[in-house]
Structure 1
């Protein structure tokens, strides 16, 4: 067993240590406090010692003093042979490293970095927001310093494991396996919800897309759908389940089922006959039903609770997971709302305008409430890729988008993590999405 002496009793430090040595590495360890120390000391059963620098927790009592780094240093493999990549960003501490047979002293503040990335304290401390009140990618330290597409928490974990291995640790680490988590946020179950839907679509075809031919197709599809000779363009649920089943995977369908904001207007209530039948079909085919709380629920616990209860009332499955609509999120309020409603995991941690690792990891993890200063039961399953990022936000060509997705996939595989994909049911059967449709099948074939 490892004996870990922490230089502070702060719950934030205990959280970071518990996640590093327990959640991520799966080692047996005990935590003790050594307030007189200025570093974290890990004692191995063979008498060897790993010392990790502490440049924050032993100095300060309050997170209010936890500063966002102004700059990030970089260390390379020549300076630190325990890295799993060619280099590593150093957010806290220094690159100093001393190595002997029985002792390693590392100046990098590993635990402060893990806490900083996983708790999303940065998003609470930095007031920057976009037009939807979301923390923007452009304000994130990882984006500013070019490591947002690297799971640096996982890289730090590997570095520590390599150090422990050098010192002769006698334990085996947790065995992990790569997995693909396929999710679909269902904002619009049907395109033709009412005659007004047709009017709106025709207006877009003629005025925005300037395509009389597309308007004619839309009109024909509307009436053919009503007659039952064609499927609604947004009713791609059988297709999505087919694609997942070919790879031996389950699809997670997260349903928007309430809300009064204009960005909620596409939903159907769970009691709607189409929704009732759809959820039964999803359940029958062995896929999963989840929750997509409406636009204003990110800081409204009562609205969240009401919508969840309505979905649960008509769902054949217990609702335990989901993702916030529009990825609206307020740290730590939104996590707390999910916790208070008994949810098992959320998958909202993602920058809509930029794919990558918002939390610095490709593994699910228990979250930390920075105001109540405690670890929650709720787990975060960070989203890796959303198709709208490339098509709508970045307007990338499909092949360029696929190349970037494959780069992220390769990294997730390297760390045996969870590649969480979001592909909306509406991203098919439309001229603007046609080029992306085949890329979805190409991507799914890689899982």
Structure 2
């Protein structure tokens, strides 16, 4: 058990130390504010303060973990063995920056509480982030910092044997639209034919006609094939179904269609299921509540996981809504069509609500890529492989997000990438 001396034990401090030292590095930790208790402790110990008490393992603290609320912070970026870091410290500190304050700043999404320019969908964009502006968005810096810290710490305390974690691969599949053509209702079917003609998409017109006549499989209906792949490679995929009402941005078929109900039930027998919260539920907890109830009723078991459609994640309100509705896991922490680690990490972590100054029970599973069909496949794949290598180095969790639309026969490059990732990182 590591004993940490600090002048004040705050919720921020307890949250950050527990996550970095215990959850990531496997080192149990306790705290004290009493100097005599710290001095009398004959086992592993460190101090986190402005000045060391003696010759103990010492990390100089910044003020962030002892504050409350939000304020403007002047961030200085420096390099630590070619890894960017924040909050530099003095010479007495065992590491050149305050790893705990820096990690809290990124994990809590502190910068997203500050004023920022929203995009057309009301989202916080990657371009607004400190990581993007300083070119470390595609690097899981928090996990890298932890590994560097562990090396220095174990040199000081070689008898410690921390619990090692393993790399894991968790594919996520969005289902914003279950079928391309079928089960859409007469008005939407006729509208689709008219649109194909107006836009001169005659091949699509023929495909639509063939599917509706039962002469051809729906191009998005690849669920059985992918269930078989996941079983073959012993990989649990996470499927998120959008079941909100039809709107400008939500185009799935009705949850009351029997075939759609059977599809969700069948997928839930072999994979993990979650709610792809509708565009309209972005700020409307009542709509979110209705959608959760629909999915609960469909699969006959509690729904604990959620993602936000279009990645319309607004911190902290969306997370507060999830907590109020008793969701326990979220998979929205990332950027749509921009690769990278939004919270600077590839490790699941609990959401810390700065407004309430508490660690919540909502576990965040950060993803590093979401592809919906709008980017160059070759460039995107190259970036994915680089991030994957970084995650493997720190034994983190690699979570890519695909859409069933992208994994259809229309996008063979992406389907091939998905299958190759399964082959290389399966549990078979």
| Structure 2 CA distance for aligned equivalents of residues 338 and 204 of structure 1 | 38
Q: Of 309, 312, 316, which residue of structure 2 is paired with 1:332? A: 316
The answer to whether the 8 A contact 1:283-1:316 is kept is no
**Structure 1-normalised TM-score?**
0.85
| Higher mean displacement: 49-58 or 172-181 | 49-58
| Structure 2 CA distance for aligned equivalents of residues 49 and 340 of structure 1 | 44
**Structure 2-normalised TM-score?**
0.88
> 1:2 corresponds to which residue?
2
Say if 2:417 is the partner of 1:439: yes
Say if 2:40 is the partner of 1:73: no
Counterparts in 2 of 1:283 and 1:188: CA distance versus 1, 3 Å:
same
1:97 deviates by 4.5
Say if 2:211 is the partner of 1:232: no
Say if 2:88 is the partner of 1:93: yes
> 2:185 corresponds to which residue?
194
| Structure 1 CA distance for aligned equivalents of residues 188 and 323 of structure 2 | 36
Q: Of 383, 386, 396, which residue of structure 1 is paired with 2:370? A: 386
| Structure 2 CA distance for aligned equivalents of residues 44 and 150 of structure 1 | 38
| Higher mean displacement: 403-412 or 191-200 | 191-200
Counterparts in 2 of 1:121 and 1:174: CA distance versus 1, 3 Å:
same
Say if 2:212 is the partner of 1:252: no
> 1:145 corresponds to which residue?
134
1:195 deviates by 4.4
Say if 2:403 is the partner of 1:408: no
SS in 1 for 2:209: helix
Which structure ranks higher in relative contact order (CA pairs < 8 Å, sequence separation ≥ 6)? 2
1:268 deviates by 2.7
Structure 1 unaligned residues grouped into runs of 5+: 77-86, 99-103
> 2:255 corresponds to which residue?
270
Counterparts in 2 of 1:270 and 1:196: CA distance versus 1, 3 Å:
closer
The answer to whether the 8 A contact 1:254-1:292 is kept is yes
TM-superposition CA deviations, 1:250-297 (whole Å, max 9, x none): 221111111464111x1233332122110222133x212211111132
1:171 deviates by 2.9
Alignment of 1:107-256 (within 5 A): 107-192=96-181, 193-198=184-189, 201=192, 212=200, 215-256=201-242
TM-superposition CA deviations, 1:117-175 (whole Å, max 9, x none): 10001111132211111111111000000001111110111122112101115332232
Say if 2:29 is the partner of 1:45: no
Counterparts in 2 of 1:185 and 1:289: CA distance versus 1, 3 Å:
same
SS in 2 for 1:135: coil
| Structure 2 CA distance for aligned equivalents of residues 344 and 183 of structure 1 | 17
> 2:354 corresponds to which residue?
370
1:34 deviates by 6.2
Say if 2:384 is the partner of 1:421: no
1:426 deviates by 0.9
1:72 deviates by 1.3
| Structure 2 CA distance for aligned equivalents of residues 222 and 353 of structure 1 | 28
| Structure 1 CA distance for aligned equivalents of residues 208 and 74 of structure 2 | 53
Counterparts in 2 of 1:370 and 1:400: CA distance versus 1, 3 Å:
same
> 1:84 corresponds to which residue?
none
| Structure 1 CA distance for aligned equivalents of residues 17 and 365 of structure 2 | 20
The answer to whether the 8 A contact 2:3-2:44 is kept is no
> 1:64 corresponds to which residue?
70
The answer to whether the 8 A contact 1:321-1:345 is kept is yes
CA RMSD after TM alignment:
2.5
> 1:292 corresponds to which residue?
276
SS in 2 for 1:117: helix
| Structure 2 CA distance for aligned equivalents of residues 27 and 20 of structure 1 | 9
| Aligned residues between the structures | 411
Structure 2 unaligned residues grouped into runs of 5+: 46-54
| Structure 2 CA distance for aligned equivalents of residues 11 and 298 of structure 1 | 29
The answer to whether the 8 A contact 2:108-2:354 is kept is yes
1:309 deviates by 0.8
> 1:101 corresponds to which residue?
none
